[in-house]
Amino acid sequence: MKIENHFQFESNQTPLDPAGMLAALLEAGYSNTGARRAVLAAICQTGGQASPADLLAVGRQFHPRLGQVTVYRTLEILQALGLVRKLHSDAGCHAYAPATHDHGHHIICQGCQRAMEFEGCDIAAVVTSVEAQTGFQVQSHWLEMFGLCPGLRIADCHLSFARR
């Protein structure tokens, strides 16, 4: 299986825009509330991946009465609208990251936990094989990869060299 090299590193991604996210919510018929705006601002301020607890803490800087239920409900809405993606972490808890592509996936650093979205997952052959083996008709898929980011790989390389 070949994975195309379409990595979009954070420095190259379009800046997150709470106004654009709010416009998408309004267009879908959702209300413009202070609590929702606080969640959007928190997502944009954290930039990468963030847990609901992280978003609650940051969001309360914008809206002190922001509640946990509102954070989760807003994340569900944003996920349904394709504005954020749910990520799994090694620790077993979920985090959310902005979705910058129509169909994207994330690679997560196992050291610093930074998440970066990438496009391209040439898995048509895998889908065909799974369908043949199981009788299922695959409707969607979810791909996450884990590894070490360039910064940590360079740091690890320098540490290895220094130990010699």
The CATH number of residue 98's host domain is 1.10.10.10
Torsion angle defined by CA atoms of residues 51, 90, 79 and 5, in that order, rounded to the nearest 10 degrees: 120
- pLDDT bracket for residue 159 (50, 70, 90): low
The pLDDT assigned to 154 comes to 79
* SS3 assignment, position 144: strand
- Mean pLDDT, to the nearest integer, of 54-63? 96
Between 1 and 30, name the one with better pLDDT.
Answer: 30
Q: Is 56 within a domain?
A: yes
Question: 12, 11, 30, 8: which is closest to 21 by C-alpha?
Answer: 30
Can you list the positions of beta strands (E) in 84-156? Answer: 84-88, 94-98, 104-109, 115-119, 144-147
* Pair 74, 47: CB distance under 8 Å: no
Whether the predicted pLDDT of 41 surpasses 70: yes
Give the tokens for residue 58: 């940051």
Query: Are the C-beta atoms of 116 and 101 separated by less than 8 Å?
Result: no
Split into its structural domains, the chain has a count of 1
Q: Return all residues near 92 (Cβ < 8 A) that are at least 6 apart.
A: none
In this prediction, residues 5-22 reach a mean pLDDT of: 54
Domain span holding position 143: 6-163
Contacts of 154 by beta carbon, 8 Å cutoff, 6+ apart:
none
pTM greater than 0.75 (yes/no): no
In a domain, 1, yes or no: no
Q: pLDDT of 104-143, one tens digit each?
A: 677 778 787 777 777 766 778 888 999 999 999 988 777 7
* Higher pLDDT among residues 119 and 7, named by residue: 119
The band of 40, judged by pLDDT with boundaries at 50, 70 and 90, is: very high
Query: Distances from the Cα of 106 to the Cαs of 4, 56, 132, 138, 149, in angstroms?
Result: 14, 22, 27, 20, 12
Of 67, 37, 32, residue with least CA distance to 53? 67
Instruction: Identify the weakest region by mean pLDDT among 20-34, 72-86, 113-127.
Output: 113-127
Task: Give percent above pLDDT 70 in the chain.
Answer: 74
Identify the residue with better confidence: 68 or 86.
68
- Report pLDDT for 66: 97
